[in-house]
Chain A
Amino acid sequence: MTEQTIVNIGPSHPSTHGVCRVIVTLDGETVVHAEPVIGHLHRGIEKMAENRTYLQVVPLTDRLDYVGSMYANWAYCRSVERLAGIRVPERAEYIRVIVCELQRIASHMMGIGSTGADTGATSAFMYTFAQRDHVVELFEALCGARLTYNYVRPGGVSMDLPDGWVEQCRAFTAQHPPVMMEIDRLLFGNVIARARLKGVGVLTPEDAVGWGTSGPVARGSGVDWDLRRDDPYSVYPRFDFQIPLGEIGDCYDRARVRLWECVESCKIINQALDQIEPGSVHAEGLPRLLAPRPGDAYDHIESARGSLGVYLVSDGSPRPYRMKVRSPAFCNLAVLPLLAEGHTLSDLIVIIGSLDPVFGEVDR
């Protein structure tokens, strides 16, 4: 063994996807040990939530996963609705499904693009980001915001779909899958990219389950677990969709699973747009100040990163007594030392990217 070098990747580094510091012990170029140091973006959202009313917490949840704000909105709202016993109108449920599947596309576009950027294919990043921008424009038409939507509220959604939005959305879902095929050929069909991604950072199914990973990270390892199908919520049982699975759980599989999930999301959106019917988008007779019964509630949804859960404890006051966000990115990132060991420094970057952490959610 030669002399080992300790290299600090981050906290400010182009490929840590936020502010993650990884202390890497290198033997030459080979990673002996990688220790992620997180918390640089810790804002104490769980503590802040204890100081706000239930409605005021919604904008805070936007800031959790800032690449997919709709998810945290929805997970939180589902918990509040379960706690306060609110029934959500069907149209609102459909709108939530549509925006969250769009959000999945937007978020995965970031994930796939950064897989490209991490391997040096910056053009693939630009192509996926153009797709993300289409989604973000749809969201802007919907709620006026491009990043922190604050759209899903306890009891429904903040406003109905604007005129012409459905057509715009259909136009997007029609043009999106062909672009995905193009990205598949451009990035995943490339011999260099395949050499960079295949066999790198293999996560076995046992580790994937044991370490509590979820979402594309677990599914990339072939763990057939998707809350949309296995613990169905909202109106998901009414849709017909496949759950893409990886084979061996390397970076290639994780990125590919994201790609095919986007295509499946387009199918779900199309079905939801066919089935949606006019109606109210917000529960009637909801008090301005929610003060649910004392008790606790937990609900989870399948976000772009995995099962995102919100655990709420109420003491009967208008403020949550305790809010805990079960963050999928946090659990997924925990396997980084496991995956990185024995690979090169270049692979470490690709592995971090393939876990697709968003540090707003990891650090909370």
Chain B
Amino acid sequence: MNIDELREHLCSTYPDLCPLFSVEYGDGMLMVDSSRLHEAASDLRDLGFDRLGMVTAVDTGDEFELVYRVQSREMHAGIFVKTRVARDVASIASVNDLWPAANWQEREVFDMFGIVFEGHPDLRRILLTDDWVGYPLRKDYEDERIIRRPDYI
């Protein structure tokens, strides 16, 4: 299924998600408000997106952009779901109840960015030790062991 068919399918089934859908460089992308993320994710899963490929986050400086990639085996398609949360109150509903795959992936995002996933059954650090201070993939993370490489330009 190509992107246009996917958009039509999405718009006919869930009209309120339609205006949020855009195509970026050939990839379908759904930008939702953080409060509506779980609802949108649930709709997408009912639409046939049965695999959660990836959960990650990007520190854009003033807020975190959460990126979910969901895939559908029937439609042979994958789209991004993006949402933004504020840095100071970084929390969002967990999608662990929809896709168990989110369990470890959300733990990793929590580990690296400190974003709290509400409703997650076991939100602990996963890659770093339990007593680690700070969230390394935040852009303002400081550690004297980080060596800035010189600019080559």
Contacts and interface: CB of A to CB of B under 8 A. Distances in A.
Interface of A: 38-39, 42, 44, 46-47, 51-53, 82, 207, 209-213, 223-225, 230-231, 289, 295-298, 300, 307, 309, 311, 313, 318, 321-322, 324, 326, 330-331, 333-334, 363-364
Contacts of A307: 53
A126 to B, nearest CB: 34
A320 to B, nearest CB: 11
Interface of B: 24-25, 27, 50-54, 56, 58-59, 67, 69, 73, 76, 78, 80, 99-101, 103-105, 108, 112, 125-129, 136-137, 146-149, 152-153
B51 A212 contact: yes
Nearest to A307: B53
A309 B105 CA distance: 14
A295 B80 contact: no
Q: Is the interface of A mostly helix, strand, loop or mixed?
A: mixed
B127 A42 contact: yes
Nearest to A44: B136
A298 B50 CA distance: 19
B128 A42 contact: yes
B104 A313 contact: no
A313 to B, nearest CB: 5
B53 A364 contact: no
Contacts of B128: 39, 42
Contacts of B67: 296, 311, 324
A211 B100 contact: yes
Given A44-B136, A211-B103, A296-B67, 16 more contacts: A39-B127, A51-B149, A52-B149, A53-B152, A82-B25, A209-B73, A210-B100, A212-B51, A230-B73, A289-B152, A289-B153, A295-B24, A309-B54, A324-B54, A331-B101, A331-B104
B99 A210 contact: yes
10 contacts: A38-B126, A51-B149, A209-B51, A211-B103, A212-B52, A213-B101, A297-B25, A298-B54, A309-B54, A324-B54
A326 B69 contact: yes
A209 B128 CA distance: 27
A364 B149 contact: no
Given A39-B128, A212-B53, A313 B58 contact: yes
Nearest to B104: A334
Contacts of B76: 230-231
Contacts of B108: 330
A311 B59 CA distance: 14
Contacts of B149: 51-52
B72 to A, nearest CB: 10
Nearest to B29: A296
A298 B80 contact: yes
A35 B143 CA distance: 30
Given A39-B127, A212-B51, A289-B153, A334 B58 contact: no
Contacts of A311: 54, 56, 67, 69
Contacts of B99: 210-212
A330 B65 CA distance: 22
Contact of B50 (A38, A209, A297, A313): A209
Contact of A210 (B50, B69, B146): B50
A47 B52 CA distance: 23
A210 B103 CA distance: 11
